[in-house]
Structure 1
Amino acid sequence: MTAPESLRVPATTPRPSSRRAQAPVVAVVSLGGAVGAAARYATSLWWPTPPGGFPWTTLWVNIAGCAVIGAFMVVITEIRPPHPLVRPFFGTGVLGGFTTFSTYAVDMRKLLDGGHAGTGLAYLAATPFAALTAVWLAACATRRILGTSDTKGKKSS
């Protein structure tokens, strides 16, 4: 018995994209990540967190980065499609390097290890709530400013 034609696998399946085709994406993500991480590191030097203190710098970096990604995604998905390397460079690279889950986790651990459980738990709850709220508010504000509809992705009349 043979499988119906619609279920047969073609004799030649397309090859996954080559490494050469991925090289520009990897390069722009790396470059963007370096820019974002350097900016985050600079903020930690300008606004250091005292031992046992609330890690305001990391919280505000994550909030700001999430707000920017909310606005950025509206612009590139609802207003005008960008060059194919803009999203990997800025969204994944710069903003991925700027925002930081790892520093959030390290800050949380330091607070717990230092006997500041209350501060650590407040930080644990505040960060994802504030970051998600920032994405949502920035996306809504960007749609309103640019006159787009959040359901159709097209300009309102």
Structure 2
Amino acid sequence: MIRVALAVAAGGAAGSVMRFLLASWVAANWPRHFYLGTFAANIIGCLLIGLLSGLFLARSDLPLELRTGLITGVLGGFTTFSSFSLEIIKLMEGGRAVEAFCYLAFSILGGLLAAWAGLTLARLAS
């Protein structure tokens, strides 16, 4: 288990640095559209989690450290949106469309409300 946790930690560090570099590059080149770095990370992460999940389903012989390090570590550090998207797809494919929609709606609205609440609290504290 410790080897898997270390693979996730190393992958998470790499993914976070990759997201930082992407966001920094976008902000430097298109400061007005700074958010496109996050958007790109989310879309790229979604593409990669789908691709890797599909490949790993066919290649379960690959070490758990590699599979978990890439998906949970690298992509988790790069974007958690990729995991969220894959979970929505799995719910839909499992015939759980109502649950998938509720998860989608509550996650987006809840995230927006939480971010607003956090900003509000920070502004009140300063």
- For 2:18, the equivalent position in structure 1 comes to 39
SS in 2 for 1:81: coil
- For 2:35, the equivalent position in structure 1 comes to 55
Looking at structure 2, the residues matched to 23 and 79 of structure 1 have their Cα atoms a distance apart, in angstroms, of: 22
Would you say 1:89 and 2:69 are equivalent positions?
Answer: yes
- For 1:75, the equivalent position in structure 2 comes to 55
TM-score with structure 2 length normalisation? 0.58
Looking at structure 1, the residues matched to 21 and 80 of structure 2 have their Cα atoms a distance apart, in angstroms, of: 14
Larger fraction in helix: 2
RMSD: 2.9
Unaligned residue ranges in structure 1 (runs of 5+): 1-21, 114-157
Post-superposition shift, 1:50?
Answer: 3.9
Looking at structure 1, the residues matched to 13 and 69 of structure 2 have their Cα atoms a distance apart, in angstroms, of: 10
TM-score with structure 1 length normalisation? 0.47
Looking at structure 2, the residues matched to 82 and 61 of structure 1 have their Cα atoms a distance apart, in angstroms, of: 26
* Contact 1:29–1:93 under 8 Å retained in 2: yes
The total of aligned residue pairs comes to 86
Q: Compared with structure 1, are the counterparts of its residues 42 and 61 closer, same or farther at alpha carbon in structure 2 (3 Å cutoff)?
A: same
Give the % identical residues.
Answer: 33
Post-superposition shift, 1:56?
Answer: 1.2
Aligned amino acid, residue 83 of structure 1: P
Post-superposition shift, 1:57?
Answer: 1.1
Unaligned residue ranges in structure 2 (runs of 5+): 82-107, 120-126
Q: Which entry has the higher C-alpha Rg, 1 or 2?
A: 1
